[in-house]
């Protein structure tokens, strides 16, 4: 991905069980310092997703790396940014806090 250009990635999720699952995804950017330059335009994270038994889906994330990434001397040796997701089963009545909000 070239800083400043938008990109579209898909993450595959599968429910290997025999019951429906409702879950919420959170994301992580590594190295941590590069996270400030990662910008999601549209994402499935922090929204409940329902997966039926044995269902497999592709979940899209539309994003870009801020062009200032290329100007930051601390990022000079960073040539790989990893975006990962963790899918948690939603618990009834439990809400995940949104990052940066209280």
Tens of pLDDT, residue by residue over 48-94, are 889 999 999 998 999 999 999 999 999 999 999 999 988 888 876 65
User: Which residues, at least 6 apart from 25, have a Cβ–Cβ distance to it below 8 Å?
Assistant: 44, 45, 46, 49, 59, 85, 86, 87, 88
Q: Model confidence over 77-90: pLDDT tens digits?
A: 999 999 998 888 88
- Domain count for the chain: 1
Quick check: is 95 in a domain? no
Query: Which one, of 11, 24, 68, lies nearest residue 50 by Cα?
Result: 24
The CATH number for 31's domain is: 2.60.370.10
Question: For 2-11, 71-80, 92-101, which range has the lowest pLDDT when averaged over its residues?
Answer: 92-101
Q: Is residue 44 part of a domain?
A: yes
Let me know if residue 14 belongs to a domain.
yes
Cα–Cα distance, 101 to 2 (Å, whole number): 30
Domain assignment of residue 13, yes or no: yes
Domain that holds residue 15: 5-89
């Amino acid at each position: 991905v070239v800083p400043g250009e938008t990109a579209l990635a898909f993450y595959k999720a599968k429910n290997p069980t025999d019951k429906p699952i409702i879950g919420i995804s959170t994301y992580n950017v590594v190295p941590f310092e590069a996270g400030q330059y990662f910008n999601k335009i549209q994402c499935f994270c922090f929204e409940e997703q329902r997966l039926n038994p044995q269902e497999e889906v592709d979940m899209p994330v539309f994003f870009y790396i801020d062009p200032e990434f290329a100007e930051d001397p601390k990022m000079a040796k960073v040539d790989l940014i990893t975006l990962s997701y963790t899918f948690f089963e939603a618990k009834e009545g439990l809400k995940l806090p949104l990052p940066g909000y209280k």
